[in-house]
């Protein structure tokens, strides 16, 4: 669960299995339900999904990044929580459920409980429309409302809600819906990250995290590879351009095997412009 919790770059959202061969095996041989809340295979898949986000920080680690970056909370960066009725197809709803999961995490990381409640309700409404049952049940919602002033607990509950959603989609073989939720949250997170502003005009840590998302994008594209829905095909086509932009980033390896990313200002501007165009096509 530690690896699965949202960070600011989705802020960053949660994942699906990034191993296409393993996915195909799971589709043909769905895991039998057990007495535990989540099957062993589901937990394994979920941990594997964390690779999509390339070593996710914990909420505390992410809070430290935010503090060091001195980024400014801006609700205008988020999707309108009252737009849920605008999304009518299954893929529109799934993509924007991912968006709202990211926005919910963003408001929680920045400790804005009332906005968190609003985005919880937006996510709940879309989940119900997708017939994702027993995710935002009374237990989850009441726990969220009673923990609004405890950021760590709140983020843990959000993580649980996402895992429950992913488990439901997995058990019901709704793999394209699951992929769309992931894509929506990843795109929203990256979009938010590129539009953050800091009090000192610098946000080098956030920019560094953006540059590291090349591997995440590759895994996301692999996950979307076999999705045939028109909306997801359009998203894949637009993300192909993102792959080209990310290929402009120079990667080197330090003496301690740490990867170093060198992204020019021009490449950064192109990545920001492209991801925000993709995000606009999803939310509007």
Confidence of residue 9 (pLDDT cuts 50, 70, 90): very low
| Residue for token pair 């339900």 | 33
pLDDT at 109: 81
Beta bridge partners of 262: 250
DSSP assignment of 152-186 equals HHHHHHHHHHHHHHHHHHHHTT-HHHHHHHHHHHH
DSSP assignment of 102-116 equals HHHHHHHHTT-HHHH
Confidence of residue 268 (pLDDT cuts 50, 70, 90): very high
pLDDT at 1 over 70: no
Tokens at residue 92, please? 């529109």
Specify the DSSP class assigned to residue 130: T
pLDDT at 40: 55
pLDDT at 169: 84
Q: Can you state the angle between helices 90-109 and 113-129, rounded to 10 degrees?
A: 160
Residue 190 to residues 31, 53, 150, 182, 272: CA-CA distances in angstroms? 32, 11, 26, 12, 8
Tokens at residue 73, please? 């909370």
pLDDT at 41: 52
pLDDT (tens digit per residue) in 60-80: 455 566 666 778 888 999 999
Q: Per-domain residue ranges for the chain?
A: 20-283
Q: Are 181 and 95 in contact (CB under 8 A)?
A: yes
pLDDT at 57 over 50: no
With 0-12 CB in 10 A as exposed, 13-18 as middle and 19+ as buried, what is 21? exposed
Euclidean distance between CA atoms 109 and 7, whole angstroms: 8
Average pLDDT over residues 111-116: 84
pLDDT at 47 over 70: no
pLDDT at 55: 37
Specify the DSSP class assigned to residue 86: G
Residues above pLDDT 70, as percent of the chain: 75
pLDDT at 58 over 50: no
Euclidean distance between CA atoms 283 and 105, whole angstroms: 17
Euclidean distance between CA atoms 174 and 229, whole angstroms: 12
pLDDT (tens digit per residue) in 180-228: 988 998 899 889 888 888 776 667 778 888 888 888 888 889 888 888 8
pLDDT (tens digit per residue) in 166-189: 778 878 888 899 889 889 988 998
pLDDT at 273 over 70: yes
pLDDT at 28 over 70: no
Confidence of residue 257 (pLDDT cuts 50, 70, 90): confident
CB atoms inside a 10 Å sphere around CB 248: 15
| Residue for token pair 């205008």 | 76
Confidence of residue 33 (pLDDT cuts 50, 70, 90): very low
**Mean pLDDT, the chain, as a whole number?**
77
Q: Are 155 and 59 in contact (CB under 8 A)?
A: yes
> What is the Cα 240 distance to its own chain's centre?
18
């Amino acid at each position: 669960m530690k690896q699965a919790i949202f960070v600011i770059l989705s802020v960053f959202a949660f994942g699906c299995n990034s191993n296409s061969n393993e996915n195909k095996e799971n589709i043909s041989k769905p895991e039998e339900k057990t007495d535990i809340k989540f099957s062993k295979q589901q937990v394994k898949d979920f941990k594997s999904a964390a690779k999509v986000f390339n070593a996710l920080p914990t909420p505390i680690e992410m809070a430290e990044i935010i503090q060091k970056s001195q980024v400014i909370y801006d609700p205008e960066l988020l999707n309108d929580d009252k737009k849920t009725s605008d999304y009518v197809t299954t893929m529109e709803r799934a993509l924007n459920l991912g968006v709202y999961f990211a926005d919910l995490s963003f408001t929680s990381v920045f400790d804005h409980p009332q906005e968190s409640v609003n985005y919880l309700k937006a996510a709940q409404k879309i989940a119900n429309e997708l017939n994702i049952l027993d995710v935002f049940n009374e237990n989850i919602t009441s726990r969220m409302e009673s923990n609004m002033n405890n950021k760590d607990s709140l983020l843990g509950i959000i993580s649980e809600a996402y895992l429950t959603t992913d488990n439901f989609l997995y058990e019901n073989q709704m793999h394209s819906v699951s992929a769309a939720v992931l894509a929506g949250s990843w795109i929203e997170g990256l979009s938010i990250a590129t539009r953050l502003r800091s009090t000192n005009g610098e946000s080098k840590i956030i920019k560094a995290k953006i540059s590291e998302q090349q591997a995440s994008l590759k895994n996301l594209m692999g996950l979307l590879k076999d999705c045939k829905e028109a909306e997801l095909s359009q998203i894949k086509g637009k993300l192909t351009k993102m792959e080209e932009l990310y290929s402009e980033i120079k990667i080197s390896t330090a003496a301690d095997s740490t990867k170093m990313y060198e992204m020019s200002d021009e490449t950064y501007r192109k990545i920001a412009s492209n991801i925000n165009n993709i995000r606009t096509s999803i939310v509007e």
